[in-house]
Chains A and B, each alone.
Chain A
Amino acid sequence: MKAKLSKFLQNQKSVLKSIIDELSKDFKYVSILATDTVGTSYGVTSKTSSANDSNWKERGFVIRVYNGFNYSEYSFNTLKDTEYIKTRITEIAKNDVALLMKKGIKLMEFPLIEDDNLIQEYYSDFKVDPFTVSAEEKLAKMSALVQIGLAKDERFIDFRVSFEEVQISKLFLSTNKDLSQSILYTNVALVCIGKDENGVKYDFIGFSGLEGFEIFEQANSKIDGVTKSVQELFGSTHIIPGEYEIICDPSVSGLIAHEAFGHGVEMDMFVKNRAKGEEYINKAVASNICNMRDGALSEVEVGTYLFDDEGTLGTDTLVIDNGILKSGISDLLSALKLNTIPTGNGRRESFERKAYARMTNTFFEAGNESLEDMIKSIKKGYILEGYFSGMEDPKNWGIQCVIAKGREVINGEFTGNIVSPVTLTGYVPDLLKSIDMVSEGPLQISGNGACGKGHKEWVKTSTGGTYIKAIGRLS
């Protein structure tokens, strides 16, 4: 089946085009991004259940115009009074800019966007339309999973299942562009919470995709992974801070790709001189077995789309090629300023927010090693599994990843010791240059959560890879 474009957007297209035509008399560049995203989030715990609209649900518009120096924008969500809309964007782009200049504020000048002729559309594929499955069936399926999870260990105090279905519809219109897309994705998370005399321990597993209700087919097989993980955490101890040999599971590899390099090559940071990556283009930043990609077209996951929120077509960017930093990822305005080609990474949290250079699907490519050989090669170290959070430092290439647990390996054998939680910190090139083994595929990529820029501007991204072996500072 194909995702369908919102009828509301189809019906408003002529109104939006007439606004563009009218504004084009006063402004050399005018575009409108229109969004109509629907979705529902379901949750079941041992004691409660819920079924609410997804936080990603939105319907609205953002106009961008060239104000003669740079760009001004207006976000709104009603079309009742199109004259008012035209008046407001004119006030913002002319009156407000004039007042700010009068107050002594300097304007950064940008070139005019070349508005190429482009008419394209994209509708993602799925098997079972989740919106046609009743809430009753979804909640019943989730309740069954909760009961299976809870029954695994009497120390479990809760087992939580969440499911989200989201269908994004977007139009991008300008004088010469007419782009439309509809993308349907789903994600499921299983959270196991246990408690013993040492306190509360928990872990989760999430999976996602441009899939429909068929995503539930994976759920049963994932329960044991998360429940066993919590059972192991009951006996966990704290790690002795220090430098260790580490093997990162695909989720941790993905977190490193995302935090270590993804944020560091967002090219709006280049414009601000906030990214060290700019100085390292065509230089070695990782070991020569390391390859990393980002792009709406790099994989089919929650970061996939035809066009970004500035009307640039999505691409597949090879960021690190055999250890050499080859390219950043760019929004349209940063590319204009840097005189580079935009990579289709200009994304907004919603129609209400500004577009920034953002990641899409980010991952380390697979290597040739077997996981077994990688484990055997460790003298003293840990396999790092699952993560809670990460934080970037694009200017100085520091990294912080909070990881659910480390599984101790000494002389190539598991000792049975588990440490938790584990914080991986350090200098990104040191970490990436220490990668000496990358496991064979298949790639494991997922996008259950959301990525922020700094501490805001959340967008859906996917991350992953395979197992990588490196040296890391753990605490």
Chain B
Amino acid sequence: MKNLITLLDQKSNVDEYLITETKTSSTELFFIKDELQMNRGKDVEHITVTVYRNFEEDGKKFKGSSKTKLSPTMTLDEMEALIDIAALAASFVKNEYYSLQVPSDGYAPSIPSKFSDGDVIKSISELVKDVYSQNQETSSFINSVEFFIDRIETRLINSNGVDISQSNFKGLIELIIEATGEKESIELFDMLYFSDHISDDIKDAVKQSLKFATLRANAIPMPNVENIPVILNGAATQEFWDYYKFCASGGSKYNRLHENNVGDNVQGDNVQGSKVTITLAPTLPNSTTSSYYDTEGTFLKEVTIIKDGEIKAIVAGKRYSDYLNIPTTGDIRNTVVEGGIYSEAELKDGPYLELLKFSAFQMNPMTGNFGGEFRLGIYFDGTTKTPVTLGSIAADIKDVQENMQLSKELVKDNNFIGPKFIKLYDVRIAGN
């Protein structure tokens, strides 16, 4: 690294630079039913160098950049050859001028994780134990599971003197649950992300998946219904908020995809339901995206971007904050959405369709269209609750946001804290 920095400092065709070095060690286990099919290990080092060229045309300043990946197999001469190619490419890339980040004296303690305590192979075997300890149901069972624990050490250096090192853990369990119904067997799919070993969280997540799979195995095709509210529960309640984060995005504003400013109301003028409040947090416990710095070296601080439906801050990294002449928030990757005033019981008073599992819920933040096919829902007609499947929903958030109701009960899932239930009216439901 020292030689690479010296090389970049001496290059006349490189005006500025950013180096990102990551060293990742991984342990991976792959199970079918309760048998280990394969185990894997990984030790890799990646070095990415972004070179910048500053230039002027007609009295206006511009900046070009190009990012190149260097391999640890390369000699310094080979690295220099790639840097020269990137520097040449950067001289033809023409963007408005912006400055690189400067060093910060922000306090960045290490992010705690039990995975740092010992052998990762022992830790991962404990995860296996947690997951399979719940495999006691008769009506549903674990079909297959993949376990990943990555230890990632990152160093970020730029030509302005930024030099940041941090390490973190990224855990993932891909869980497939199978259940047998009267007609056929079904499966449900879950991705559990974590950075710490919280045994009870893992067990609870597996237990819930087993329960949902049993429900889906006994679900009937969604009947055609009209004018009933939809309650989102589960992963969809996280992706749903992408629309509002887009509304407060500096990059999107610069690219003219919206024209919102601080103080603008993005939820409509006649909100009858819950008002939206969203805060971005650099760190949350047990989150794979917790970090005190973003990838440009900006020291991150908690920021409320929307309060009661009104934009309080435009979110922007160094480049777009320079363009828009606004404070740099950096790229903060944990989201906290404030709960509403409604209890679960209040939201579920009267007929509803509660959607627990989608094949892939999608929120298009640019257009506001959202929806998808659901694999498990609970249809309550006012008297009976019935598990349903094979239906889909679609709506435009701009048509439903004024009346949406948020639960006071919150859910925490990896890098998200927010209302466990979102109740929506006037959503198009396709049944059979």
Which of B40, B69, B178, B257 has most A Cβ within 10 Å? Answer: B40
A202 close to B394 (CB less than 8 A): no
Query: Is B112 part of the binding interface, using a Cβ–Cβ cutoff of 8 Å?
Result: no
| Chain B residues within 8 Å of A, Cβ to Cβ | 26-30, 32, 34-46, 48, 64-69, 71-73, 86, 88-90, 92-96, 121-122, 125, 128-129, 143-144, 174, 176, 178, 184-187, 189, 191, 254-257, 359-360, 362, 364, 366-369, 371-373, 375, 390-394, 396, 398, 428-432
16 A-B pairs in the complex with CB atoms less than 8 angstroms apart: A47-B95, A47-B96, A49-B94, A50-B65, A73-B40, A75-B41, A78-B72, A99-B121, A158-B256, A352-B26, A389-B360, A395-B178, A402-B362, A421-B394, A423-B373, A475-B392
Residue of B174, B187, B432 near A396 (CB, 8 A) is: B187
Residue ID in chain B nearest A427 by CB atoms? B390
- Chain B residues, CB < 8 A from A389: 360, 362
- Contact at A396–B367, with CB atoms within 8 Å? no
Q: Is the CB of B367 within 8 A of A51?
A: no
Residues of A within 8 A of B371 (CB): 423, 475
Contact present for A88 and B43 (CB under 8 Å): yes
Count residues of chain A with CB under 8 A from any CB of chain B.
Answer: 84
- The 6 A-B pairs at the shortest CB distance, nearest first, are namely A241-B430, A475-B430, A108-B35, A391-B360, A135-B89, A52-B67
Nearest CB in chain B to that of A202: its residue: B366
A201 and B430 alpha carbons, distance in the complex (Å): 24
- Whether B30 contacts A96 by the Cβ 8 Å rule is no
CB neighbours (8 Å) of B93 from chain A are: 49-51, 135, 139
Once A70-B37, A106-B34 are accepted as A-B contacts, the answer to whether A391 and B44 lie under 8 Å apart by CB is no
Asked if A272 is at the interface (CB within 8 A of a chain B CB), the reply is yes
Q: How far is the CA of A74 from the CA of B37 in the complex (A)?
A: 15
Residues of A within 8 A of B90 (CB): 51
CB-based contact A76/B394 at 8 Å? no
Give the contacts of A83-107 with B (CB-CB under 8 A).
88-89, 91-93, 96-97, 99-100, 103, 105-107
Q: In the docked arrangement, what's the CA distance between A456 and B193, Å?
A: 13
Counting CB contacts under 8 A, is A425 at the interface?
Answer: yes
B36 touches A107 (CB 8 A): yes
Chain B hits for A427, CB < 8 A: 390
Residues 100-137 of A, flagged 1 when their CB comes within 8 A of B and 0 if not, give 10010111101000000000000000000000001110
Partner pick for A157 among B69, B257, B360, B398, CB 8 A cutoff:
B257
Does A57 belong to the interface (CB within 8 Å)?
yes
Contact B367 A100 (CB under 8 A): no
Known: A53-B67, A199-B367, A272-B32. A398 touches B375 (CB 8 A): yes
Whole-angstrom CA separation of A121 from B88 in the bound complex: 34
- Contact call B187/A103, Cβ cutoff below 8 A: no
The answer to whether the Cβ of A410 comes within 8 Å of any Cβ in the partner chain is: no
Task: Tell whether, in the assembled complex, residue A157 and residue B256 are in contact, meaning their CB atoms are under 8 Å apart.
Answer: yes
A157 and B174 alpha carbons, distance in the complex (Å): 40
Report the minimal beta-carbon distance from B269 to chain A, rounded to whole angstroms.
Answer: 16
* CB of B223, distance to nearest CB on chain A (Å): 13
> Known contacts A241-B429, A352-B42; can you find 7 more A-B pairs with CB under 8 A?
A48-B95, A60-B71, A70-B37, A134-B92, A158-B256, A423-B373, A454-B189
B428 CB to closest chain A CB (Å) equals: 6
- Which of A53, A272, A423, A475 meets B144, CB within 8 Å? A272
Q: What is the distance, in angstroms, from B245's C-beta to the closest C-beta of chain A?
A: 16
Determine whether the beta carbon of B125 is less than 8 Å from that of A103: yes
Q: Is the CB of B73 within 8 A of A241?
A: no
Whether A391 contacts B73 in the complex (CB less than 8 A), given A70-B37, A455-B191, comes out as no
Q: Is the CB of B38 within 8 A of A72?
A: yes
Given contacts A103-B125, A105-B125, contact A354 B38 (CB under 8 A): yes
Q: Is A144 in contact with chain B by the CB < 8 A criterion?
A: no
Question: How distant is the Cα of A391 from the Cα of B235 in the complex, in angstroms?
Answer: 15
Residues of B close to A88: CB separation below 8 A: 41, 43
| Alpha-carbon distance between A196 and B174 when the two chains are bound, in angstroms | 42
**A59 B95 Cβ-Cβ under 8 A:** no
- Give the docked Cα–Cα distance between A73 and B28 (Å): 10
Q: How far is the CA of A447 from the CA of B27 in the complex (A)?
A: 32
Q: What's the Cα separation between A402 and B363 when bound, in Å? A: 11
Closest B residue to A12 by beta carbon equals B73
Contacts of B391 in A (CB 8 A): 425
Encoded as 1 (CB less than 8 Å from any B CB) or 0, chain A from 13 to 54 comes to 000000000000000000000000000100001011111110
User: Known interface pairs A49-B95, A158-B256. Does A92 touch B40 (Cβ–Cβ under 8 Å)?
Assistant: yes
Closest CB of chain B to A352's CB: distance in Å? 6
- Our pick among B36, B40, B65, B73 for the contact of A74 (Cβ within 8 Å) is B40
Instruction: Tell me whether A398 and B373 are in contact in the complex, defined as CB-CB below 8 angstroms, given that A70-B38, A108-B32 are known contacts.
Output: yes
User: Is A8's CB within 8 Å of the partner chain B?
Assistant: yes
The residues of A that contact B73 with a CB separation of less than 8 Å are 8, 59, 77-80
Report how far A74 CA is from B360 CA in the complex, Å. Answer: 32
Chain A, 439-475, CB within 8 A of any chain B CB: 454-456, 473-475
The interface residues of chain B lying within 8 Å CB-to-CB of A193 are: 257, 366
